[in-house]
Structure 1
Amino acid sequence: MFKQLRNRFLIVNLATTSIIMLVAFAAIYIINYIDVRSDIGMDLRRVVENYEKPGFGGGGGGDRQPGGMGDGIEDGMPPLQDGGRNTIGTPPERSVSFMIRTDADWNMTGTPESKFTMDDEFYAEALQEAAAEGRTSGQFTLDGSHWIYEVHSTSEGHMLVFLDITARQEILTDLIYTFTVVGVVMLIILYFSSRYFANRSIRPVQEAFTKQKQFIADASHELKTPLAVIGTNTEVLLGNPDDTIRQQSKWLHYIRSETQRMAKLTSDLLYLTEMDDSRTSMIHAPFDISEAVENIMLTMEAVIFEKNVALDYDIQPHLSVHGSSEQIKQVVMILLDNAVKYSGPGGKVTLSLDKQHNEVVLAVSNTGEGIAPEHLTRIFDRFYRTDTSRSRKQGGHGLGLAIARSIVEQHRGRIYAKSVPGESATFYVHLT
């Protein structure tokens, strides 16, 4: 299930990113394409204007020899005036262009005019390409070069102006190749990074799902025992219908005890669920935690005396924290109850409450077997018990410390335990 979830995440992530990159690359390409085409159009217009100006090529093209002087033009350039400065203008130096004049039947008249000398065969092929298309402007490829042309009507026939756009066409082609390479590399990097982050993102979900499954299994196991006891005792009652209630009181007491056990368990589970879902409407306000802890101590005195456990406490008066008084009392009750249970007869429980820096620290310690190091990080998990059989005899479900941790975290505090195996265990609660 989690592998499918990860793969779905990868597919969605890759597809989304691919679409975004495609749109971005397409937008960049279109912008560059429009810019290049606009640039080409402006160059072509300047070239056409230069060839149309009087004195350029002698009006009718002339019988000029390449490299010689003809009609005041040398190498297809207009004559220089004003002390050698070209006042008429020239085709852009970065572009190769030429002009061909034809009659009405598209037959070449005169010599093609160009800044660069080309083969007559090349001129003839260019003219043939333009004439074959039969349009006033167009584009074609000849001998591996890209050319754009415009056709203008004259009194003698036509004037065709050709401009080499190979360099700018290659810019667009290189842009496509660059986008392709960058896109492939980015997708490869994205795949591995997405896979890494997908695994990290799914891991907490997987752990939560595993804990949920374990929680359901543990809850079912806890409920199974009292249900079995209730069922067995009910069968005993039904098997002796003639007995009085007094005679069957033992079985009824068993049923009531297990019913109370189940009620306590379901109540704790419901409370934990409400705490996890943050549905509890806790009213936080400043209260005197010293007084709250003393009240719990008075409540527990009888139980502690009955268990033959010594109690030593040191409570600094008038300490105040912000939170729910009733819930903090519940935490103190849970910690004291556990301390009394696990200290055993003749043991000792120590409680202290004081202020350290900006925090109020509650410490509850008990003598006894202590807690092994491997259990310290897990004792706050639901249904976790270091000694299952012993906890069952004492009536525990392994939910008390989980509830305590949930309450403390709701108060933005900390709870943890330290232990010396075989000697003692101490639980600390830090509140602000």
Structure 2
Amino acid sequence: MFTKLRNRFLIFNMLITSIIMIAAFAAIYIITYSSIHSEIQKKLDQQSQMQIITKEEDLPDNTGKGTRSTIQKFSLNDNLSFDIEVDKNGKILNIDSFVDMPDKAYHKAAETVWNNKKDNSTITLEGKEWRYSIAKIKKEVIRNEEKSIVVENNYRIMFLDVTAYNKTLFQLLTTLLSVALIMLFVIFIISFYFANRAIKPIAEAWEKQKQFVADASHELKTPLSIINANYDALLANQEETIKNQLKWFDYIKIGTDRMTKLINDLLAFAKMESINLEIRKTPFNIGNTIDEVILSMEAAVIERGIRIISSIEPDVIIKSDPEKVSQLVTILLDNAVKYSNRNGHIYISLIKSKRRVVFSIKNSGKGIAKQDLPKVFDRFYRSDLSRTYENGSYGLGLSIAKTIIDRLGGHIHVTSEENGFTTFTFTLKLHS
């Protein structure tokens, strides 16, 4: 399922990236193509507008003598170029060229263009590509210092070498395609990496959710089994009085109490993980909150013969949710009491450290194995399974504590030594 989700994400990302990249490269190529062809056309148009300047005395007379004209020769910058003058039948009248080519090449060029009669097109000649333009010849005649334009029936075909231009466009196209392929490969690798990273927390959350449901179902089976077993015992002894069967009712009560606690913990945990959970942060004295929690658990502490030694710095004000902080301290103290050895010790401290407040609670006992330390905040984790039902623990308390501290913007961690002390420490920001 997650592989398909990752692949869809990858395909979508590659598709969008490819479209944007192709559009950008296409725009670059089209702009360059248009610019080059505009430059070529400008040069051809510029030459086609050149006129043959003729003086009045040079015009043909009745004697049939030829004319003497002054023709403006041209060279289009560094580009090779030539022009051919033809009559209305395509017969060559004059060749004006800066290119060293055999006469047959000029005749072939004129014949090809005249048969095609397609203006502003390209032909291949002598291993080069030539762009040509066809225009009627215009003469500028000067009579008595007055100028007039005379349009003849002859045509001029202008040729411009565009081999370098086309080579530039081809190199640009090749470069863009090469860069596109390389970029697509790089983008695929990067997208694949980030797609895996994006899917990983979702997959982990899904696995945790499945494990949570499995663990909750497993934990609910035990109290339900107790209730069912004692109910069957009651049915098997219907003749007995209620007084004689009180022990079965007591066992049922124990089962219902355990199930009630588990359900309440599950609801609390679900509430803590809700994105809509409201955190009301107000300034308050965290030392007073800790003292209240210690007093509320005095009976449990006395029953186990545990000695609490506290060192709480006075007048420590933080801006947070008093109710959630109280719940957090209660969970940690309850955990310390449950897992302390009888007649053991619990050390509680509260100090300021720079711009944060540091709370720690340390209890003597069996401790937690080094390999189990990363798991203590996992749901349904218990380091001592043999004491699960003795102390009524389901392994949700520390998970709830971790969720609370995360929502409050703090940090919590644990250190422990086997058959030594276990210390939980959390930090929160001071009220500024």
Partner of 2:136: 153
Q: Which moved more, 1:32-41 or 1:153-162?
A: 153-162
- Which of 306, 319, 323 aligns to 2:320? It is 323
Equivalent AA in structure 2 for residue 234 of structure 1: Y
TM-superposed CA distance for 1:256, in Å, is 2.5
- Which of 398, 408, 427 aligns to 1:430? It is 427
Q: Which moved more, 1:296-305 or 1:147-156?
A: 147-156
In 2, the alpha carbon distance for the partners of 1:194 and 1:419 equals 41
Q: Which moved more, 1:35-44 or 1:131-140?
A: 131-140
Q: Which moved more, 1:240-249 or 1:130-139?
A: 240-249
Partner of 2:53: 54
- Which of 374, 381, 404 aligns to 1:377? It is 374
Partner of 1:413: 410
* Contact 2:279/2:408, CA 8 A, preserved across alignment: no
Q: Does structure 1 residue 131 correspond to structure 2 residue 114?
A: yes
SS at match of 2:11: helix
Equivalent AA in structure 1 for residue 122 of structure 2: Q
Which residues of structure 2 form unaligned runs of 5+? 60-67, 138-151
Partner of 2:84: 100
Partner of 2:140: none
Q: Which moved more, 1:239-248 or 1:253-262?
A: 239-248
1:111-169, Cα deviation, whole Å (9 max, x unpaired):
31112232111111111221122234432233432222222234243222222211112
In 2, the alpha carbon distance for the partners of 1:5 and 1:259 equals 42
Partner of 2:222: 225
Partner of 1:166: 163
1:69-96, Cα deviation, whole Å (9 max, x unpaired):
xx798xx974xxxxxxxxxxx3313222
Q: 1:392 to 1:32 in 2, by over 3 A?
A: same
Which residues of structure 1 form unaligned runs of 5+? 61-70, 79-89
Higher relative contact order structure (alpha carbons within 8 Å, sequence separation ≥ 6): 2
What is the TM-score with the length of structure 2 in the denominator?
0.87
* Contact 1:148/1:162, CA 8 A, preserved across alignment: yes
In 2, the alpha carbon distance for the partners of 1:72 and 1:102 equals 17
SS at match of 2:394: coil
TM-superposed CA distance for 1:12, in Å, is 2.0
Partner of 2:11: 11
TM-superposed CA distance for 1:377, in Å, is 2.0
TM-superposed CA distance for 1:242, in Å, is 4.0
Partner of 1:113: 96
Number of aligned residue pairs: give it: 406
Q: Does structure 1 residue 401 correspond to structure 2 residue 391?
A: no
TM-superposed CA distance for 1:42, in Å, is 0.7
Equivalent AA in structure 2 for residue 94 of structure 1: D
Q: Does structure 1 residue 274 correspond to structure 2 residue 258?
A: no
1:223-252, Cα deviation, whole Å (9 max, x unpaired):
121122222222233334444433333222
In 2, the alpha carbon distance for the partners of 1:398 and 1:319 equals 31
Q: 1:239 to 1:53 in 2, by over 3 A?
A: farther
Q: 1:221-300, aligned counterparts within 5 Å? A: 221-300=218-297
Q: 1:98 to 1:293 in 2, by over 3 A?
A: same
Partner of 2:141: none
Q: 1:132 to 1:270 in 2, by over 3 A?
A: farther
TM-superposed CA distance for 1:370, in Å, is 1.4
* Contact 1:146/1:164, CA 8 A, preserved across alignment: yes
Q: 1:143 to 1:18 in 2, by over 3 A?
A: farther
SS at match of 2:383: coil
